Amino acid sequence: MADPEKKKCNTRKRRVKSADLFVCPLGGMGEIGKNLTVFGYGDDYIIVDCGLKFPEEDMLGIDFVIPDVEFLVENKSKIRGIFITHGHEDHIGALPFVLPRIDVPVYCSRLAGGLIENKMIDASTGYVPDFHYIYPGDRIKAGCFEVEFIQMCHSIPDANALAIRTPAGVVVHTGDFKFDPTPIDGNRSDYSALARLGDEGVLLLMSDSTNVEKPGATPSEKVIGQTFERLFRLYKDRRIVVATFASNLNRTRMIIATAARFNRKVVLVGRSMIANVELADKLGYLDIPDGIIISPQEADHLPDNRVVVLTTGSQGEPFSGLVLMSRGAHRQVKLGPRDLVIISATPIPGNEKLVSQTVNRLFGCGAEVIYERDEKIHVSGHASRDELMLMMSLTRPKFFVPCHGEYRHLVRHAQLAKEMGVSSKNIFILQNGDMLKFHGSAKAEIAGHVQAGPVLIDGVVLGEFEGSILRERREMAENGLVVISVALDKNMRPAAPVQIQTRGSVYSADDGSTFRELENAVLSAVTQFARMPGAKRETLPTEIRKRIRDVFGRSSRNYPTIIPLITYI
């Protein structure tokens, strides 16, 4: 009996008849963030999520990192849409840089759409997305695919898993999730929909791996509510400053509700915090009592114990509200001994040092600081080991691909799938760019690799990771900069004294003997170059660099960045 989904697809394009389903992650494998996965069958492609990740410590001056999407640009005529699981940065943050290049519809919740729209405005792209707003239970046709949205619990409202029906079978992509029995917003994960898919038959499960190393189940957000209640009661004579993710709207809802119960007003600090709260309130995701949100100027006229400051900066971001407060550089909020600071977040891997430095400075301001190791002031939005096992039990997949985690998380999740009965030959640990192809529903294999590397974003400018940007920045940071300025006449003779300037180098103008050596090396390079028959002017800077490096090489193993500037008169 013919597969009805395949028959529908074949009526549209006969070429699809011999096609195979493929799954290709361009981000989110072996890393936290930058999530983007492509699904393809014949001439139909769909994309799930399009996020960013924050830079590593050695990515000097880089604001964030997005996936390389050249594969998508080359095949944009085949893309039927982007499907967004939820509105966190690691799932939507790359859209301002990707959407204008591929120009396809975006299927998402109203909240995620609002957050994406704000990001488009911030990036000044001028591009207006083609939004199609969805609700849990909706099924969207996209070429040969049908995508069903399934309500899941996470740290932001309107998180969804996706059931992707393909001619080869059903793929379940969990997005970020946990099974919280008492969520703040009342929206529980849809167990029955997942079980129904398991009964229908799941070809492939792609599941969030972030917390696979944590035993048991992730605590409910209600636990945090109890902690805030106790802290607000215990520190009733102090101003309370709470730092959390601007996108953790469920936590924001809880803090505002607790402030209202203790007759406190709330001051919002941080551009993203203000924008997200205003958006969520406008769309009805937050129940904010009238008059509870006030300006910093209004807060100045209230006693400290009547104010809660809700701010960004839980990850130690250099220009965030909390970090500016810790440095005493915030224009409106000055911290002191009558303040309690609560950091309600766990450091993202790589941000531990920044958070630690911020905590130290906060103590230096005289404030009392409560952070994760002290109290239950943060719970994850991701499923722990027992919940990941429950996901597998409900969906009962034939094939399994762990996603959204560092490499060790993917390995641990693959091991868990094997313990749950998935055949080892049907478990694939993918790297970004791997092309996993299914031959019908019986067999799958990694059949090739497409270009998939990180792209660095500095402001709104894109730069390839493989280029020289980071190498040059590291060299300048480690060894400094030397600029050599030479003026030559038409006979290639010096027309003015050689000028040498240094920045960040151990060598300075006070070191007269070294500077004389450098000057002599430059003059020697120019003299020898002038005697070379047929020498091309553009090769002179290289000759000068060689001579300068010889001078530095006598006293050091490291060379500053050398920039010759040659003026011909």
Where is the binding site, in residues? Answer: 61, 63, 86, 88, 90-91, 154, 176, 246-248, 378-382, 404, 458
Which residues contribute to the annotated binding site for substrate? 246-248, 378-382
Which residues contribute to the annotated binding site for Zn(2+)? 86, 88, 90-91, 154, 176, 404
Compute CA distances 207 → 93, 123, 388, 398, whole Å: 20, 31, 8, 13
Task: Please report the sign of the dihedral spanned by the C-alpha atoms of residue 318, residue 324, residue 325, residue 326.
Answer: positive
Q: Exactly one of 208, 339, 409, 413 is catalytic; name it.
A: 208
Q: What count of Cα atoms within 13 Å lies in the side-chain half-sphere of residue 89?
A: 17
> In which order are the strands placed within the sheet that holds 307-311?
293-294, 265-269, 307-311, 239-243, 339-343, 368-370
| Residue type for position 458 | D
Q: Exactly one of 382, 409, 413, 434 is catalytic; name it.
A: 382
Which residues contribute to the annotated binding site for Ca(2+)? 61, 63, 458
Query: Could you confirm whether 449 is annotated as catalytic?
Result: no
State the pairing for strand pair 265-269/293-294.
parallel
CA angle 89/210/34 to nearest 5° reads 35
> Which distant-in-sequence residues (6+ apart) come within 8 Å of 364 by Cβ?
326
* Six-digit token string for 4: 């009805």
Residue with tokens 């090739």: 448
Coil/strand/helix, residue 73: helix
The rounded distance, in Å, linking the Cα atoms of 484 and 472 is: 17
Residue with tokens 């002599």: 520
State the pairing for strand pair 145-152/139-142.
antiparallel
| Residue type for position 209 | S
Query: Could you confirm whether 58 is annotated as catalytic?
Result: no
> Which distant-in-sequence residues (6+ apart) come within 8 Å of 89 by Cβ?
33, 51, 52, 247
CA angle 325/328/329 to nearest 5° reads 80
Task: Please report the sign of the dihedral spanned by the C-alpha atoms of residue 359, residue 255, residue 180, residue 95.
Answer: negative
The rounded distance, in Å, linking the Cα atoms of 347 and 244 is: 11
Q: Count the neighbouring beta carbons within 10 Å of the beta carbon of residue 223.
A: 14
> Which distant-in-sequence residues (6+ apart) come within 8 Å of 316 by Cβ?
323, 347, 351, 353, 354, 355, 356, 357, 358
The rounded distance, in Å, linking the Cα atoms of 22 and 363 is: 53
Type and span of the H or E element at 481: strand 481-488
* Calculated CA dihedral for residues 224, 229, 233, 234, nearest 10 degrees: -20
The rounded distance, in Å, linking the Cα atoms of 498 and 519 is: 6
Are 73 and 101 in contact, with CB atoms under 8 Å apart? yes
Tell me the catalytic residues.
208, 382
